[in-house]
Amino acid sequence: MSVMEKVRPKAPAPAREPRVTDEHGRRIRVWELALRYLLLLGVLALTVGPFLWQLSTSLKGPTEDIFSSPPKFLPGEPTLHNYERVSETIPVWDYAFNSLKVATANVVTNCVGAALAGYALARLRYRGRRAATLAFILAMLVPVEGIIIAQFTTMRELGLNNTLVGVVLPGSISALNVLLMRNAFLNLPYEIEEAAYVDGANVWQRFLRIALPSVKGTVAVVAIFAFMGAWDDFLWPLIVLSDPSKFTLTIGLNYLHGTFANDERLVAAGTIIAVAPLIALFACLQRYFFRGVGEGAVKG
Amino acid sequence: MATPTVSRIRRQLPTSPWLFAAPGLLIIGAFILYPFLSTLVNAFTDRRTLIPGEFVGLANFRELLGDDMFWIGLRNSTLYVVGVVPALVILPLLLAMLVQKNIPGITFFRSAFYTPVVASIVVVGLIWVWLLDERGLVNSLLETIGVGRIGFLSDQWLLLLSAMAVTVWKGLGYYMIIYLAALANVPRELHEAAAVDGAGAIRRFVTVTVPAVRSTMVLVGALSSVAAFKVFSEVYLMAGPSGGPAGEDTTLVMLVQRTGTGLTGRVGYASAISVVVFVVTVALMLLVLRADRRDET
Amino acid sequence: MPISRRALAAAFAVCVALPLSACGSGGDGGGTADASGKVEGDITFQTWNLRANFKDYFEGVIADFEKKYPGTKVKWVDQPAEGYADKISADAAGGTLPDVVNVSPDLVAPLAKAGLALDLDKAAGKYKKEYLDGAWASHQVPGTQGTYAFPWYLNTGPLFYNKALFKEAGLDADQPPKTYDEVFDAALKMAKETDGKVATLANVPTIEDFGRYGVELMNKQGNGFSFNDAKGVELLTKYKELYDAKALDPQALTATPESSGKKFLTGAVAMNPGSALDLGNFKKQVPNLYKNIGITDQITSTGHVNMYVMGVMVNAQTKRTPAAVAFAHYVTDAEHQMSFAKQVAIFPSTAGSLDDPYFTKEDGTDETRVRVAAAKSLKNAVNYTPVLFSEQMKTELRNEVAKALQGKESPKEALDNAVKACDTLLQQQG
């Protein structure tokens, strides 16, 4: 239906006639194509370049001057030594495993919770619906920087401080995700559910069998956001957790900044370790992701 | 946000909507709204981190009016909205149109353009501080082409601009995706009709594309203006904790952090600033939504 | 933005929203100030970014302690460098502060005032004589009676300078400046010779710089600041001159210790304060620079160099006061400080330790030279930063100093304003 469908890896255009067309099947002129690629490459250099620079720094060996001017873009003798040192300094795997647990839990709770709440806001009729929607919108506007200690106090009263559950809970259903799901459900044609309704399907059946499968893409978007949020978070896990064996990767990598190990190469290796899983995850999910977007999931 | 005014679906137990919404409401209630309630209360006290406060009425808000730093913060947060929002409403749209055409390798480009969104802001901050340093990559390049070195990180205005540039850089991919979705829904007949009429690319952009994605532009405007007003990390990471030269780059949320943080934090006063931030973002949201509604009718 | 607003690792918790009752103020906690009971039970010990490099050392210390006092169990937690104050704030406010905590004087002050730090003059006064007088006093808080942490490791360091840059500017690379006046002269010359391309100083003056320059920072009663005196104005006026001549780096107004270190490494700045630790870093990170590094003594007008002090405090609300006090003392006693000092380039705060041959005998290497010189200067070093000088005050001072350097205010006005703002903050701290 959408453009995105066509984007998915599809057999390359017939080889005999290398003809490039746009989304409307119209042919694109050569100069226009060249200009497009030029622009694309320009933006590519801007968006990805900085990360490659960081990657390059992380691969530079201990004898290489990393502050040289003019800068050297490629490591003279690429080495994984810095990554080894990171894993010697901190238990990367344990921390990464904790992060994975937290991020996975966050994905599950956000997908489920946001889908349910989003459906309630978009499709169900009841008194207080406006108030509920308003609650989510206000929650999105609260400056989170200001409430972290109060969150900690609440967590301690629940006896959940120093647990991974405590790390997940406050962000487990984020208001923004609920509103994204609400918009996705709002954009579904009513007719689909109408038919099921006539067939006698109850609200759960309509939600599970009809509405939810139609917004798979938005669920993928929510999943990525939830994973990213939990994976990147630093301050909240730091405050909630006391026991180093429960630390997440972001906290762990922060040890690399410390007074006693201030090495730019190590820090660079650390950032690459932190970013790589996200990029990998995104690369795996991007198919669904872009398709989800094609649903008009986040459309106003 | 258009709500289809089709029929209503009524086969449901009276309790089921609440069952659906309950987990979400519970979580944001307990961990966002309830804690924010105590911020509201604290704003009227002189509470400090380790010392319980007393009710002081409007004293904190009165103090705000005479606090130079508060006005600097308000100015910078407002400037941030003014500077960042137009860029984030327009540039991602152009980018979306650039990657919309189904040419070979386009999937790769789309994903690559999204990487800055995926990377954490701290990583992004570290990278850019180093790139924009007086001796960094950008300045080396500028010197090579004869422009000379520019003190991106030492001048108060250039610093603010650099932070805005990073915000835009990181946001491009995110809003590009939203626009891609919207563009996908523009009926191709519209474009074809315009093309038949002999409209050029720019005309088609103005007469077909923009009206078709207008509601998305409003959404992007709303999301980005709220985020821009609450900006913290970009400026904090680039201008430093004290907010640039003489604190001239301090934003409101940075001021909340600075006054309220640590063992000697003035929780009451910082709460008052938090409340101001909240009120302004609510107002921004209402403004955008109202503009949207007026456009539709 | 799609990122969670909390996904911001730079430390920035705000303790904005505690229910009014949940505040931990001392007195009614479970603990007792009596440390004379039997040393037993489980305690938690929190350090500040030490696990990554000294895991084995601390596990050894803990095992020895547990062996010495059967029936004790020490749980060790280590926190990363960033966000430490936020972590402690949350724990202090939430009542989850560990029993024994690694602190710095500025962290101790508010905790002591809130009654959360145990007064060691009362609970452990008998150990006082084991430590250097200056070090023991560094955890006393004006306005309260008592001493609130055992002194732990100390650090100080020389001034590094880039010999190559000195030579290029026609300065004598073997005769580095020794006084403030010489530093200022060298800096102005450097700026002139290089057309403002190379600065000599990378940082604006901080409170400790004023102290080292001989400015009285606080009044005698400890209830008001006084760094706006003639001496203070003199220093700031001098810095203004340097700034105008680009002898003070133009980016200094926004510099952090990390960024100025980097500037020194890239040769954009000719001098940088540091410590013995940095030598190893230089060797590793910028081998080209290492051979050009000159080392000179920290500049001071008072005859006392500046030192940084770390402490170990005992939570006043601990349920295991005897064990907590015993452990805090154990970690900081002469034997353990000495063995820790040999692991890393820091200095013990225990009396007599600095006379150990390790700190007095040179063997010709730069490392030892720096170490011996630092140890010698530490015997009468001062922690200039007043314990009551909070983060908020540092920012006030920094911003006013910046205004003076930019010429928006005269040095006198700027310092007057800073003193006024800091006095207000001091009163608000209660």
* The predicted structure's pLDDT at residue B167: 93
pLDDT surpasses 70 at A22: no
**Which residue from B minimizes the CA distance to C399?**
B246
Residue A208 near chain B (CB below 8 Å): no
pLDDT band for position A280 (50/70/90)? confident
Does residue A228 lie in a domain region? yes
Sequential DSSP letters for B8-60: ----S-TTHHHHHHHHHHHHHIIIIIHHHHHHHHHTTB--BTTB---B-TTHH
- Within a domain: residue A12? yes
Which is nearest to C402 in space by CA: B247, B156, B150, B240?
B247
Among A23-37, A141-155, C149-163, C287-301, the range scoring the smallest mean pLDDT is A23-37
Q: Which of C8, C13, C22 sits opposite A239 (nearest CB)?
A: C13
pLDDT given for residue A13 in this prediction:
42
Distances (CA, A) of A61 to A77, A116, A264, C154: 7, 51, 11, 33
Helices (H), C344-390: 357-360, 366-378
Residue A68 pLDDT: 64
C263 in any annotated domain: yes
Q: What is the mean pLDDT of each run of 10 residues along chain B (297 residues)?
A: 41 71 92 90 89 89 93 96 95 90 81 83 79 78 82 89 94 85 73 74 81 81 89 87 89 90 87 92 84 60
A151: alpha, beta or left, given left = phi > 0 and alpha = psi -120 to 50?
alpha
Segment C413-429 shows an average pLDDT of 92
Same domain, A19 and A164: no
Q: Between C12 and C286, where is the model more confident? A: C286
The DSSP code for A90 is S
- Pair A70, A103 in one domain: no
B79 Cβ partners below 8 Å, 6+ apart? B160
Does a structural domain hold residue A38?
Answer: yes
Is there a single domain that holds both residue C150 and residue C200? no
Compute the nearest-CA separation of C48 from chain A (Å): 9
List, in sequence order, the alpha helices (H) in C254-356: 257-265, 276-285, 287-290, 321-332, 334-343
> Is residue A232 scored above 90 in pLDDT?
no
Indicate whether C217 pLDDT > 90.
Answer: yes
Q: Print the SS3 string covering B212-250.
A: HCHHHHHHHHHHHHHHHHCCCHHHHHHHCCCCCHHHCCC
Please check whether residues A161 and A96 belong to one and the same domain. yes
Tell me how many domains chain C contains.
2
Does the distance separating the beta carbons of A250 and C4 come in below 8 Å?
A: no
What is the pLDDT at residue A101? Answer: 94
C77 and A250 in contact by Cβ < 8 A?
no
Domain identity same for C353 and C407: no
Work out the mean pLDDT of chain C and round it to a whole number. 85
For residues C31 and C21, what is the distance between their CA atoms, to the nearest angstrom? Answer: 19
State the pLDDT at residue A55: 87
CB proximity under 8 Å: C 298-337 to A: none
Q: Are residues A91 and A52 in the same domain?
A: no
* Chain length of chain A: 300
pLDDT tens-digit series, residues C141-169: 888 889 999 999 998 888 999 999 999 88
**Which residues from chain A sit within 8 angstroms of residue C88, using beta carbons?**
none
pLDDT score recorded for residue A66: 67
Q: What's the pLDDT at C42?
A: 94
Predicted local distance difference test score (pLDDT) of residue A257: 64
Same domain, A196 and A50: no
Per-chain mean pLDDT for chain A: 78
Same domain, yes or no, for C189 and C227? Answer: yes
Report the percentage of chain A scoring pLDDT > 90: 15
- pLDDT confidence of residue B28: 93
Q: What percent of chain A has pLDDT over 70?
A: 82
- Assess if residue A278 is contained within a domain: yes
Rounded to whole angstroms, the Cα distance separating B282 from B48 reads 27
Q: State the pLDDT at residue B13.
A: 59
Helix axes of B267-296 and B252-260: crossing angle, nearest 10 degrees: 160
Question: CA-CA distance, C139 to C157, in Å (whole number)?
Answer: 21
Same domain, A271 and A155: yes
The domain made up of B41-296 is a member of CATH 1.10.3720.10: yes
Which structural domain, as residue segments, surrounds residue C93?
30-156+308-378
B-proximal residues of A, 224-263, CB under 8 Å: 224, 228, 231-232, 234, 250
Q: Are residues C146 and C250 in the same domain?
A: no
Domain end marker among A18, A50, A79: A79
Residue C5 domain-assigned (yes or no)? no
- Mark whether A33 and A111 lie in a shared domain: no
What separation, in Å, do the N-terminal and C-terminal C-alpha atoms of chain B show?
12
Domain ends where: A32, A54, A79?
A79
What's chain B's length in residues? 297
First vs last Cα of chain A: how many Å apart?
A: 19
Confidence of residue A292 (pLDDT cuts 50, 70, 90): low
The CATH number for C169's domain is: 3.40.190.10
Query: Looking at the structure, do residues A90 and A193 belong to the same domain, yes or no?
Result: yes
State whether A59 and A187 are in the same domain: no
DSSP string, A233-247: --HHHHHH---GGG-
> Is the model's pLDDT at C226 over the cut of 90?
yes
Residues C299 and C324 in one domain: no
* Residue C137 and residue C164 share a domain: no
Do the Cβ atoms of C406 and B233 come within 8 Å? Answer: no
Q: Which residues in chain A are closer than 8 Å to C277, comparing Cβ atoms?
A: 259-260
Report pTM. Answer: 0.84
Q: Is residue C18 part of a domain?
A: no
The mean pLDDT value for C90-106 works out to 90
Cα–Cα dist C112/A70, whole Å: 51
Domain segments of chain B: what residues?
A: 41-296
Number of structural domains (chain A) is 2
Q: Name residue C22's amino acid.
A: A
Asked if residue C211 and residue C249 are part of one domain, the reply reads yes
Domain contains A299: no
- Residue that the structure tokens 């922690």 belong to: C383
Q: What are the φ and ψ backbone dihedral angles of B249, each rounded to 5 degrees?
A: -105, 10
- Domain of A183, CATH number, reads 1.10.3720.10
The verdict on residue C371 lying in a domain is yes
Looking at mean pLDDT, say which of A7-11, B17-21, C140-144, C314-318 comes out highest: C314-318
What's the whole-number mean pLDDT along residues A63-84?
75
Indicate the residue among C337, C356, C378 that finishes a domain.
Answer: C378
Q: Dihedrals φ, ψ of C387, to 5°?
A: -60, -25
Q: Which of A60, A116, A69, A63 is nearest to A266 (CA)?
A: A60
Closest Cα of chain B to C409: distance in Å? 11
Do the Cβ atoms of A259 and C17 come within 8 Å?
no
**Which of the listed residues A31, A58, A79 is the one where a domain comes to its end?**
A79
Q: How far is Cα A155 from Cα A170, in angstroms, rounded to an integer?
A: 9
From residue A96, alpha-carbon distances to A87, A91, A172, A248, C402 in Å are: 11, 9, 19, 6, 42
Q: Are residues C420 and C283 in the same domain?
A: yes
In three-state secondary structure terms, A182 is: helix
Confidence of residue A25 (pLDDT cuts 50, 70, 90): low
Identify whether residues C250 and C173 lie together within a single domain: yes
Is the per-residue pLDDT at C9 higher than 50?
A: no
On chain A, the residues whose CB falls within 8 A of the CB of C19 are 150, 153
The answer as to whether A211 is a domain residue is: yes
What is the model's pLDDT at position C405? Answer: 94
| Residue C24, domain member (yes or no) | no
Q: Which domain holds residue A214?
A: 86-294
Q: In the beta sheet, which residues pair with residue C313?
A: C101
Helix (H) or strand (E) holding C48: strand C41-48
A2/B184 Cβ within 8 A: yes
Which residues make beta-bridge pairs with C74?
C43
Examine the domain organization and report whether A24 and A127 are in the same domain: no
CB contact residues (below 8 A), chain B span 223-252, against chain C: 223-224, 227, 230, 232-233, 236-237, 239-247
